[in-house]
A and B are shown apart, each in its own frame.
Chain A
Amino acid sequence: MATGIKQQDRQDAIAGWGFMTPALILFAVFVFIPIFFAIYFSFTDWNGISPPAEAKFVGFDNFRVLLFEDGIRRADFFKALKNTAYFSLGVVPTQTALALLLAVIVNQRRLRFKSFFRTAYYFPSITSSIAISMLFLFLYQKNGLVNQVLQTITFGAWEPIAWMADPRGLFHIIFGWFGLTLETAPAWMQANVLSLSVWDWLSGPSVALMGIMILNTWTTIGTMMVIFLAALQDVPREVYEASEMDGANARQIFFKITLPLVRPTLFFVVTLGLIGTFQVFDQVYVMSSGGPAKTTLTVAYLVYRNGFTNSQMGLAAAIALLLFAIIFTLTLVQRRITEGKKE
């Protein structure tokens, strides 16, 4: 009997590792080993063109230049970080709230054409980001659909803008309404923090960046809605019926019943949103290439630009590692906050 079990264990070990072999080889070659490469190259001056073996080891130079040395590279890194943060802060709450709202509406029992609405909202999520970016580039032209619609609903008050060519920051525009411009700004706003002026830090997302933010929200809402719908459908009908019997109104039901029940899903959706928005790349590549005036330069695009356009692969690897650290930290912080609220 004992030898039988041993025999079985051995067979299982062989079968297990055998079944794993294709996946393990692919993961080793294209994921695990490359990660160590990337860490190594972030300490070199490799340009991405010459043979990797010729890259010179430069210690912490790349990280120092990005974080501690005043200059264009630190300015670009923090500019990209600032743009990405505005992007994330704008997109994640908006898409999460709208997706949850849509899910709750579509989930109504008496509602008809449910599958039509679900299909329509989810459709943009399955399409190519490049094709969609092209499409929005067309809609964002000065005489394009977006401006025309805005003009119609404001009864002509809206001044058409060339969205993707407009570097003005949202907060700067708002400051302008109160007469605050770069020239009239107080001295502390001109001060330099991490190679950017305080005034620059407070720009808000540029009009061009908002263009990409709207697009991103538009394409992701559907996915998030479907995730929320799956969670909502797990809530037994009786829970709602009982609370309605007790005289709860729609708002009470939403905040006291629905929201607590979908909290784990909410965490999942916000995490997905954070990870997604912190690596926006495709849309930037097609729609703006980081411009105008670097206001759509995101961290992901900066990695690409440094590595593949400016031949600074070592520096790009360092930025990528810093980005990973940021995303990882944000996810942890966010988990802490969500769990803390649960009590």
Chain B
Amino acid sequence: MTASSTYTSVRQVSPWRENLRLVLSYALLFLIALIFLYPFVLAISTSFKTLPEINERPVALIPQTFTLEGYQRMFALNVGRWAFNSFLIATIVTVSNVLFSGLAGYALTRIAFPGSRFVFLAIIGTMMIPGIVQLIPMFIVLKSLNMIDSYSGLIVPKMVTAFGIFLMAQFFEAIPREIEEAARIDGASRFRTFFQVVLPLARPAIVALVIFSFQGSWNEFMHPLIVITTNQDLYTLPLGLAFLRGGLGQNLQWNALLAGSMLTTLPMALIFLFFQRYFIEGISYSGVKG
């Protein structure tokens, strides 16, 4: 406080110039916020419009005739099933990712076992391999394991990620050794120490990983695209949406498509609004500080 009043007097910036700068900043920031948010607002509104109205007035903010037609069409197209699949897959993937990444991250940072350095580098090194490069190898393996067109094909390959291991490892690195050593002296096994002492301490990292895994799985497109070739009952929300876009040709039923898009967006939006602190923390764990 005192520092700020000192330097303004030193620099002798006229107060109206300072205020002008602040006002311009606000104007700019609100304009940019509008650019980021307005498309969503328009999409929500359009999902409640009738098709003729969308054709005539595609940018009008308020629907003239309010209709649930778009949503009804989506549910007739099995969007409920897709949402269920997305939810099921994201949940299983998230739980196992936390568990397996936690175990691996702990072993790699806290247990001095032969080969740990090599394993760590090998796993972290795979983060360098772009997803699109892994697409074809993944398909080859899933095909040989008969996992094409199955839930297991959607879930099992995603049950642990290099990113998850990296994130957990970074966090475990920061926990003081004394805490677990105390537990070990009391005779607890490695396994018990991990679950009862170390894991509870890693709560912030776990929350970040839960959010990232769930978000990643919920929004994932490329993987389900190659795993699901014929069985539409296994579609996830993004895959179903993309399929609709392809199937409808030139005459797109915008109210239905945007209804589907908003149904896909809504759960993530809610999670984000409630847990946004962790999203942001998670991003800062993910490499900047590493």
Contact = CB atoms under 8 A, between A and B. Distances in A.
Interface of A: 9, 11-13, 15-20, 22-24, 26-27, 29-35, 37-38, 41, 48, 52, 102, 105-106, 108-111, 113, 116-124, 126-132, 134-139, 141, 143-145, 148, 218, 222-223, 226-227, 229-231, 241, 244-245, 247, 264-265, 268, 275, 278-279, 281-282, 285-286, 299-300, 303-304, 307-308, 313, 316-317, 320-321, 323-324, 327-328, 331
A52 B144 contact: yes
A313 B279 CA distance: 38
Contacts of B25: 105, 108, 111
Nearest to B290: A268
B133 A321 contact: yes
Contacts of B112: 9, 12, 16
Interface string B112-148: 1111100100110010111111111111110111000
B22 A110 contact: yes
Interface centre among B29, B129, B143, B262 (most CB of A within 10 A): B29
Given A23-B103, A268-B287, A128 B140 contact: no
B132 A300 contact: yes
Contacts, number: 281
Interface stretch (B68-76, B174-182, B235-243): B235-243
A250 to B, nearest CB: 8
B205 to A, nearest CB: 15
A218 B37 CA distance: 11
A23 B11 contact: no
The main secondary structure of chain A at its interface with chain B is: helix
B279 A20 contact: no
B7 A138 contact: no
A23 B104 contact: yes
Nearest to B114: A13
Report, as a range, how many residues of chain B touch the other chain.
Answer: 35 or more
A43 B78 CA distance: 42
B111 A15 contact: yes
B42 interface: yes
Contacts of B131: 279
Interface in B204-218: 215, 218
Contact of B165 (A23, A113, A119): A23
A118 B129 CA distance: 30
Contacts of B26: 111
22 contacts: A20-B107, A22-B103, A22-B159, A23-B160, A26-B100, A35-B137, A37-B140, A52-B140, A110-B22, A116-B33, A124-B36, A126-B215, A126-B279, A127-B219, A128-B265, A130-B264, A134-B258, A139-B39, A226-B280, A230-B284, A282-B238, A324-B133
Contacts of B43: 135, 138
B276 interface: yes
Contacts of A17: 107, 113, 115
B141 A30 contact: yes
Nearest to A313: B136
A159 to B, nearest CB: 17
Given A30-B141, A226-B283, A320 B133 contact: yes
B128 A286 contact: no
B77 interface: no
Contacts of A304: 132, 135, 225
Interface centre among B160, B257, B288 (most CB of A within 10 A): B288
Given A13-B113, A23-B101, A317 B136 contact: yes
Interface string B145-173: 10000000000110110100100000000
B113 A26 contact: no
A41 B136 contact: yes
Given A38-B140, A244-B11, A123 B272 contact: yes
Contacts of A313: 136, 139-140
Listed from nearest, the 7 A-B pairs whose CB atoms lie closest are A16-B113, A34-B137, A19-B107, A131-B261, A230-B284, A23-B104, A38-B137
Given A126-B272, A285-B242, A121 B130 contact: no
Given A34-B134, A134-B257, A19 B111 contact: yes
A40 B165 CA distance: 28
B163 to A, nearest CB: 12
A105 B138 CA distance: 43
B134 A138 contact: no
A123 B245 contact: no
Nearest to A36: B137
Contacts of B40: 123, 135
Interface in B10-43: 10-11, 22, 25-26, 28-29, 32-33, 35-37, 39-40, 42-43
A310 B175 CA distance: 52
A176 B121 CA distance: 52
B7 to A, nearest CB: 5
A331 B130 CA distance: 12
